[in-house]
Structure 1
Amino acid sequence: MYTREEASQLRQAFWTAFGQYIAPQPSAEGLKINWSNYKTGLKDVYFRMRAEKKQASIAIELTHPDPEIQALFFEQFEELKNVLHGYMGEEWDWLLHTTDEYGRVISSIQKELPGVNVFNKEDWPALISFFKPRIIALDEFWSDAKYTFEALK
């Protein structure tokens, strides 16, 4: 078992390693990008990567505090579901109005990788192999799809 500080340091080490590994990859628009802290440019829409003790996940999270507005964003993503899955090359899980780890109501479009542990350095290659192609594909999707959301800004 790790102390809180050791766990924090291991997580930070993983995300630093991931950031260094993916840093040479330009965005779909050819720009330098902070992949670990991806900015969608749209308030309350986030691309989140999580690496935990028993699994990893990558998600599009919709966090608008008004559930009806959040549902509008979710519906807009649903309109692009086939496009998103085309970019990703796989189906993702769609969750309207679930709760996050802080008890807030969010909506999420996500893919999980079970059976990996960020605290086990031997799992880091599997984690990186999971995150890298998906965040790059999300960026490619978003470079085309973000304009669809202009009316919801």
Structure 2
Amino acid sequence: MYTKEEAKEAKIQFWDGFKRYSKEKGRKMTSWVLRGTQIKEVQLKFDLNENGAFVILQFDSKLESKRHSVYERFEKYKPVIMETCGADLKWEKDYFIEGFKEVGMIYYHLKGASIYNKEDWNSYYEFMFAKMTILEEAFLDVKEVVL
């Protein structure tokens, strides 16, 4: 078991390492679309938590009807997105973020990933970088038609 401080330090080290990894691969963290999607309810996100590593296209709104509406606009282009992203991309209209809220998600998931497995961080970086590159490309391909 890790103390709160140890957990915080591990997170800081992991994300600093990912920033360096991305820069070495030619992408500064500020160059990813992430929150700059130009669609209020949509963000691209990275996450590493107790459930694994995630690369996410997230749909978020206080109004469930609005969240579902935006998700469904993307769902219309599922064949196009899947062609770019591959079969391991998951789709969930209603995904509950434990202890937080419900969102819609299109995402990649690497099960078993843990922030405390420092020897595996490089493989997590590879997964996150590769999958975000693909997911961002798919998002940009359909963004204009779902606006």
Q: Which runs of 4+ in 1 moved over 6 A?
A: none
> Could you report, residue by residue, the CA deviation over 1:118-144 in whole angstroms, capped at 9, with x for unpaired residues?
111111022112101111112212222
Distance of aligned partners of 1:37 and 1:84 in 2 relative to their CA distance in 1, 3 Å threshold: closer
Superposition pairs of residues 51-130 of structure 1, within 5 angstroms: 51-130=48-127
- CA deviation map 1:83-121 (0-9, x unaligned): 212222333221112322343221111221112211111
Q: Which residue of 2 aligns with 1:139?
A: 136
Unaligned runs of 5+ in 2: none
Provide the C-alpha distance between the structure 2 equivalents of 1:25 and 1:115, rounded to a whole number of angstroms.
25
SS of 2:143 mapped into structure 1: helix
Deviation at 1:145, TM superposition (A): 1.6
TM-score with structure 2 setting the length? 0.86
Question: Is residue 33–residue 136 contact of structure 2 (8 Å, CA) maintained in 1?
Answer: no
Give the gaps of 5 or more residues in structure 1: none
Larger displacement relative to structure 2 (56-65 or 96-105): 96-105
Q: What is the aligned-residue identity percentage?
A: 25
Q: 1:26 to 1:144 in 2, by over 3 A?
A: farther
The normalised TM-score by structure 1 is 0.83
Give the match's secondary structure for 1:117: coil
SS in 1 for 2:93: strand
- 2: distance between equivalents of 1:94 and 1:17? 29
Alpha-carbon distance, 1:26 to partner: 5.5
State the partner residue of 1:23.
23
Q: What's the RMSD between the two structures over aligned residues? A: 2.2
